[in-house]
Amino acid sequence: MAASQGLGNGAGEERKLFGTDGVRGVANVHPITAEMALQLGRALAWKVRSGNHRHRIVIGKDTRLSGYMLETAIAAGICSMGVDVLLCGPLPTPGIAFITESMRADAGVVISASHNPYQDNGIKFFDRTGFKLPDEEELEIERLVLGNQATSPDFHGLRPTAELIGKAKRIDDAIGRYVVFLKSIFPKELTLDGMTIVVDCANGAAYHTAPAVFEELGARVIPLSVDPDGRNINDDCGALHPAHMAARVREV
């Protein structure tokens, strides 16, 4: 589960943390530790600190047990650099991208390992437009995190105090915002009335969002795997295990 190696900024620099889809691995084993998450949060906050406005970074996650640990650590790192945090809670990755862009935040963070088992987790960064950071910016974050006071004195020495420390708050209506957005891009002249749809949410980040969207568009929804407990994400369900969904489709 180590990060894949690849070329950075044209100079053939080896990638030590970031793979093709962020930083991934077994939760609480390097590099997916609380200590590394805190430093990654600090580095991302350092990168967005430009201009005199109050900076904000959105954080969202899936339903893995380790998400609490990583969310807290990343938020602490960001706040320690004088940048505010907006916490979305469990929300699909495209939803975090949407919230980041729609709330005009400076960056977004997704804590997820997609279809991997629950003991894995990952950290992925978005820019202010909701798109994944380019390779050269990920490499710059690596240099900051893996460097020291001598190599990056400004970054490692920045310690805001008093009212300059960042604050974190939860976006209570993040799911509602994303549901409204998804419904808005469905053709207004169409409806799902009369359709029965089986939705397998894999006990993951879409367990609230997906059934709500289809129901509000008029469908009769048969939800599967919508009871996450932190350990059952992708457990005999979801994209890698479609048999139960297929059987339910035939039943209903």
Q: Where are the alpha helices (DSSP H) in 87-170?
A: 93-102, 135-146, 153-157
Considering the candidates 4, 80, 102, 114, report the single residue annotated as catalytic.
114
Residue type, 53: H
Per the CB < 8 A criterion, the answer to whether 210 and 183 are in contact is: no
**DSSP summary character for residue 22:** B
114 in catalytic set: yes
Q: Dihedrals φ, ψ of 87, to 5°?
A: -95, 125
In the three-class reduction of DSSP (H, G, I as helix; E, B as strand; rest coil), residue 61 is classed as strand
Nearest CA to 40 out of 96, 124, 114 is that of 124
Distance from C-alpha of 107 to C-alpha of 195, rounded to nearest angstrom: 38
Alpha carbons 234 and 114: distance in angstroms, whole number: 9
- The CA R_g of the chain, rounded to the nearest whole Å, is 19
The residues annotated with a catalytic role in the active site are 114
